Amino acid sequence: MSECQTEGGFLDYSEDFYRSHGRRYSEVSHLRVRSTYINTSHPAFKGDMDLQARLVELAPGRKGLDAGCGPGARDVHHLWSMGFDIWGIDAVQGNILEAQRRHPEIADRVSVADLRQALPFPDTFFDFVMCNAVIQHIDPESLKATTLPELSRVLKPGGVLQLMFKNGSGVISVYDRVFGVDRAFLLYEETKILEILKEHGCDLIETGGRGELGGLIYFTDYKPVDHCVFYVRKSKALSTG
């Protein structure tokens, strides 16, 4: 996301961060050395690949969007290589350029788009959407008015959204030892996020009867910062108007 000032005084320098560290971030991301977690609340969840496997299992089809794909678009490339009709967007142009440099075979599937604005896709276009560690850069007003409604809008009835975010309230500042810089992130409360999504026809998918991933899942990353991740399904009865 580009630099923005919120009413609470939070200044997001993420575009500067990715401009300086985007290629290194892509390298680290593709190694998946930061993609396993601690203090996970669900026994079936250890890292990103568990989440992704469950997402495509829950989705009604194979057309998906990575909303905030990051430098290198790791997950877009991975799913594309598995035969999914997957697309990726990111607000930082350098992140998209890094994805096109690293994976030229998906160059036409990744593009610049800001989640604080209307998405460049038709209504009910995707079977699934993933949005991982992105809303930490989006101010609450934009999140409620645009980001979450748009993620719901582009989902087909029965489609699934996977949303991961830094969990809590206010702002947290942490030292990122991998990149040697201080970073600040907005924190969000899961109940408030779910309330907004419910207004747009999306309901929490609970844990399956065989213990599959579902419900509210909590974990801590390497920084360390607490997170929440969950899946919601868009109502099949919801109007697309």
- Pairing status of strand 4-5 against strand 11-12: antiparallel
Cβ–Cβ < 8 Å for 68, 147:
no
Cβ–Cβ < 8 Å for 125, 151:
no
Instruction: Give the DSSP per-residue string, 94-151.
Output: HHHHHHHHH-GGGGGGEEE--TTS--SS-TT-EEEEEEES-GGGS-HHHIIIIIHHHH
Give the CATH number, domain containing residue 199. 3.40.50.150
Q: What is the pLDDT of residues 196-238, one digit of tens each?
A: 999 999 999 999 888 999 999 999 987 889 999 999 999 987 5
- Per the domain annotation, does 239 fall within a domain? no
Residue 134 neighbours by CB under 8 Å, 6+ apart: 1, 67, 68, 115, 165
CB burial of residue 238 (10 Å; 0-12, 13-18, 19+): middle
- Per the domain annotation, does 154 fall within a domain? yes
Find the domain containing 214 and state its range. Answer: 4-234
CB burial of residue 191 (10 Å; 0-12, 13-18, 19+): exposed
- Per the domain annotation, does 216 fall within a domain? yes
**Range in 18-22, 40-44, 217-221 with the lowest mean pLDDT:** 18-22
Q: How many domains does the chain have?
A: 1
- Per the domain annotation, does 241 fall within a domain? no
Instruction: Determine the 3-state secondary structure of 91 from DSSP.
Output: coil
Percent of the chain with pLDDT over 70: 86
Q: What is the pLDDT of residues 157-186, one digit of tens each?
A: 999 999 999 999 999 998 888 778 888 899
Q: What is the pLDDT of residues 128-142, one digit of tens each?
A: 999 999 999 999 999
